[in-house]
Amino acid sequence: MSQLFRRFISLPIQSIRSFHSFDEVTPAKYISTRLQNGIGSRYVCQLQRLTIQVCKEFRTSFGTREWIANELTAFARQHPYVVIYVQPRRHRPPNVIGEYLSGDRQWIPLSNCDRSHVNWWIHSLLTQQGDPQWRLLKQMHTDSPSIQGTWTPFTNKPIDRTLRIYPDKDLTDIEYPQMTATQQIKELFEQEKLNKTT
Amino acid sequence: MVRLLRYGTIFGPLKDRWRYLYKTDLYKRRIEAGPEPERFRSALINWNYDAELHACTHRFGEKINIESLRHALTDSSFLNQIVKQRTEAGLAANDQTTLSFTHNEELAKRGEQIAEDFLRRALQYWYPKFPQEGIDTITKFLLSEPTIADISSGLGFKTLIRCDVPSPHSTMLKKAFLAFIGAIDENNDRHRAELFVADFILTHLVGKDINEIWHIKNPMGLLTKVLEENGRQAPESRLIWATGVSSVLSTYVVGIYSNKEYLGKSAGATISIAEEMAARDALRRLFETDEQRAPIPFDKLYKKGLLIDK
């Protein structure tokens, strides 16, 4: 039912803090970064803007209020690439909304969270790529799984086999050596003799 | 992770007849109303354009004047809209002195010039044996509208552009991105602008094969031509292996030689396909763009010897 509803009306993506409902199919992908972030000489923080919605009176936003009073300026100074908006809303629960460069949006309710929890959630938004609802097919992925190339029946096959006439003496010698063990030992003995004389 | 409450119990039990009818009616009305109209991001209450621009300069670590950046992100359609609004209001529309800004067309041209020049130079530097035609094709691919628009929207220019539609078209995205490069050149130096191009446009080649971007129609003809230019003998193709000749899954391995010297080999379902693929393989080896080639060192091109000026 809710899936059908979503199809018609564009609702914001559900928060990762909300309950996960199994009646919707989670999209899956391999682990990747947007635009090969970090391969060049710089890293671009994917969090574009942060909106903190807070109430000045209610107990539910006590931690959020404390965070704003104590850590907001330092955070803004440390991360000047994030635009921070603080929205006071009377008698409503506190939220933090992160908007990302890719256009995705993350919404996290902060009701009854203390200062350290608020800090944790805000930093988790900061370090994210912004796509919360993806199921990773694997924890690691590579575009080039084999450097040597995939094996085929023709790889490392000696090329002179086309010219041989079967039964071939060399090939049978490999399978069934004509020399007996005694003969081999005798040969080794003679070789050693030669080595000593020279 | 499992939903502990039933749907009905969150908003009150639906067993009441009137409540059920009320909810169903609300649902139907929402469906009838259709999707929400697209709005500008700037229409929302949490929007400060100056702060956004300031953050944008910090995001890429570029020192750009805010006015210059505002200029770079202003599309011509926005200017046209303003002029139209002024004429409707009865103001002098043609008087350009009243408009304190211009659009980014010229900056975009400047940025495109820098990007094209740098990309061509970098590719020539890293793939010295790759022919000029191929380098032109790859540069064209990197500067094409879908590629640049994808990069531009991935770097957050989507909401920052000033234009007359809520979601800017790909031409607008491209112009704004190239104008940003032009603005870097204007405020800093050419070196910074070229580094920006290397970081964000050239990295689009990661995971892509440049031999596939430049599609050669007649590989055997090109191979003959290249060998002739190098003063070598014409290529000869030889069948190395063949299996399952009479079956559906037949495989032929064809090698290409020039004066008994090995150039390349490849497998194929028929002999003609295998020969063509072998010619491509030989070309890849001659141009030094095969899989064993080291990838472009995106952040160390200057350190490795690419000069800023010729």
Fold of B65-206: Ribonuclease iii, N-terminal Endonuclease Domain; Chain A (1.10.1520)
Mean pLDDT of B96-120: 86
Instruction: Please tell me if residue A85 touches chain B, with a CB cutoff of 8 Å.
Output: yes
Residue A116 neighbours by CB under 8 Å, 6+ apart: A63
pLDDT at residue B82, as a whole number: 86
Instruction: List CB contacts (< 8 A) between B204 and chain A.
Output: 35-36
Cα–Cα distance for residue pair B148/B154, rounded to 1 Å: 10
| Cis amide bond preceding A167, omega within 30 | yes
pLDDT above 60 for A2:
no
Q: Is B55 in contact with A80 (Cβ distance < 8 A)?
A: yes
Q: Would you call A103 an interface residue with chain B, using a CB distance cutoff of 8 Å? A: yes
Q: What is the mean pLDDT of chain B?
A: 88
Phi/psi at B24 (nearest 5 deg)? -60, -40
CB contact under 8 A, A19 and B61: no
For residue A83, count CB atoms less than 10 angstroms from its CB and return exposed for 0-12, middle for 13-18, buried for 19 or more.
Answer: buried
Chain A neighbors of B61, CB-CB under 8 A: 42
Q: A9 vs B35: CB contact, 8 Å cut-off?
A: yes
**Nearest-angstrom CA–CA distance, B216 and B286:** 14
Judge whether A68 and A54 are in contact, CB under 8 Å: yes
Segments making up each domain of chain B, as ranges: 65-206, 216-287
Chain A interface test: which of B14, B32, B48, B59 (most A C-beta within 10 Å): B59
ipTM over 0.90: no
Residue boundaries of the structural domains of chain A? 13-35+43-136
Best residue in A24, A41, A77 to probe B by mutation, most B CBs within 10 Å? A41
pLDDT at B83: 84
Chain B residue nearest residue A159, CA to CA? B240
Task: State the Cα angle at B91 between B86 and B93, rounded to 5°.
Answer: 65
**CATH T-level topology, domain A13-35+43-136:** Glutaredoxin (3.40.30)
Using pLDDT thresholds of 50, 70 and 90, give the confidence band for residue A16.
low
More confident site: B50 or B92: B50
The answer to whether B177 touches B109, Cβ cutoff 8 Å, is no
CA–CA gap between residue A94 and residue A66 (Å, rounded): 12
Q: What is the reported pLDDT for B84?
A: 87
- What CATH number has the domain spanning B216-287? 3.30.160.20
- Tens-place pLDDT, residues B253-264: 999 999 989 999
CB contacts of B240 in chain A (<8 Å) are 154, 159
Contact B186, B109 (CB under 8 A): no
Which tokens sit at B263? 């150039």
Residue B1 has pLDDT above 50, yes or no: no
Instruction: Write out pLDDT tens, residues A47-87.
Output: 999 999 999 999 999 999 999 999 999 999 999 999 999 99
Looking at residue B295, what DSSP letter applies?
Answer: P
DSSP A61-88: GHHHHHHHHHTHHHHHHH-TTSEEEEEE
pLDDT at residue number B117: 94
* Per-residue pLDDT tens over the stretch B127-147: 999 999 999 999 999 999 999
Evaluate whether B278 touches B266 at the Cβ level (below 8 Å). yes
Residue B310: pLDDT band by 50, 70, 90 thresholds?
very low
Are residues B265 and B251 in contact, defined by beta-carbon separation less than 8 angstroms? no
Reported as a pLDDT band with limits 50, 70 and 90, residue A17 is: low
Asked if A77 reaches chain B (Cβ–Cβ under 8 Å), the answer is: no
Which 3 state secondary structure label does DSSP give B144? coil
Residues of B in contact with A34 (CB under 8 A): 154
Model confidence over B179-218: pLDDT tens digits? 999 999 999 888 889 999 999 999 999 888 899 999 999 9
Residue of A36, A52, A131 to mutate when probing chain B, most B C-beta within 10 A: A36
Q: Which two tokens stand for residue B137?
A: 């094709």
- Looking at beta carbons, which residues of chain A come within 8 Å of B267? 152, 154
CA angle B199, B200, B202 (to 5 degrees): 75
CB proximity A80 to B under 8 Å: yes
Q: Between A26 and A93, where is the model more confident?
A: A93
User: What does R_g of chain A's alpha carbons equal in angstroms?
Assistant: 34
Q: With 90 as the cut, is the pLDDT of residue A14 above it?
A: no
In contact, A67 and A118? CB cutoff 8 Å: yes
Cβ contacts of A49 on chain B, cutoff 8 Å: 46, 52, 55
B264-275 per-residue burial string, b: 16 or more CB within 10 A, e: under 16: bbbbbeebeebb
* Tens digit of each residue's pLDDT (9 = 90 or more) over A120-179: 999 999 998 887 677 788 888 887 777 777 888 888 887 777 678 888 887 787 777 777
What's residue A51's pLDDT? 97
A149 against A190, higher pLDDT: A190
Separation between Cα atoms, residue A83 and residue B28, nearest integer Å: 38
User: How many other C-beta atoms lie within 10 A of the C-beta of residue A59?
Assistant: 8
pLDDT recorded at residue B85: 85
Work out whether strand A83-88 and strand A95-100 pair parallel, antiparallel, or are unpaired. unpaired
- Selected residue with higher pLDDT from B235 and B97: B235
Give the three-class secondary structure for A128: coil
Q: Which of B169, B157, B141, B170 is nearest to B73 (CA)?
A: B157
- DSSP characters for B267-283? EESSHHHHHHHHHHHHH
- Decide if pLDDT at B249 tops 80: yes
Nearest to B158 among A10, A103, A144 (CB): A103
Label residue B26 exposed, middle or buried (CB < 10 Å: 0-12, 13-18, 19+): exposed
